[in-house]
Amino acid sequence: MIHIRTLLGLALLTLLLAACGKPFADRDAPPAFELKLYHVPVAQSQAIATQLTKVLVDSGYLVGTQSKTTMNVSQPFPGAVLVLAPARLQPSIGSAIQALNAAAATPLAPPPAPAASGVRIRAWVVQAIQGAGADDAVLGELAPTLKTLRQSLGASHFVLNEQVALVVDAEDGGAITTSQDHSYRFELSPAAAGADELRLDYRDPSGATIRNLRATVKVPANHYVVLAQAPAPAAAKGAAEALLTLLIVHAEHLPTTP
């Protein structure tokens, strides 16, 4: 409704100003008036009548009328407006209404879906320890993934070595170096079907987790993916019982900020 009123107001004011470009020879002489019936969309007839009244009354002084109340708009029945106005203005009024009718018949396109401004990547370096036990509490959200791993490893539990989070985009990627001197470099290539191609360059100079890793993998949005697994190095926590070191990632698309 606001769109229609704005469109009609702008169209009428533009056409009225054009029609009034040449002043009457005698500004005190009232112009010749004409009564015309215009057909409009039924659902919008009241809004059009209201807006026509406002625009014409506010524009009265432009056309040499003695009183702003001289011009009149009424709605004799739904789908029609009756306009009493100077004959000189009726073509402009008709053109504005015709343009409005065409706009009302064309459905507005739906707003585009927000584009992703980036992807938030979280990564966990996790070690699988032989023997039954409780997983680290901070790994709670990884429970379904760890349960699947446990089915192949047998009796085991998992401890967190490190967790990182950063936002990356397709242009610049993202990188971070942690307090343990582990470096992560992510590059992103958006792909179809809701999955992103994620390239990771991971380095651990100490060799306590996974020394060096370069991998490319499809990461579906909002899924936990085991990006890499390797035999636990001798320097790993609980070396005698350590089974594997795992690198798990999760990708979450961030909406564009308005």
Q: What does the pLDDT read at residue 106?
A: 64
Confidence category of residue 111, pLDDT binned at 50, 70, 90:
low
Output the average pLDDT for the chain: 76
Largest distance between two CA atoms of the chain? 107
Q: What is the pLDDT of residues 21-78, one digit of tens each?
A: 444 444 556 678 888 888 888 877 787 788 777 777 665 544 444 444 467 888 888 8
Per-residue pLDDT at 66:
45
pLDDT of the residue at 160? 93
The percent of residues in the chain predicted with pLDDT above 70, rounded, is: 70
Q: Which residues of 150-181 are buried (b: 16+ CB within 10 A; e: fewer)?
A: beebeebbbbbbbebebebeeeebbeeeeeee
Q: How far apart are CA 28 and CA 18, in angstroms?
A: 20
Query: Which pLDDT value is given to residue 158?
Result: 94
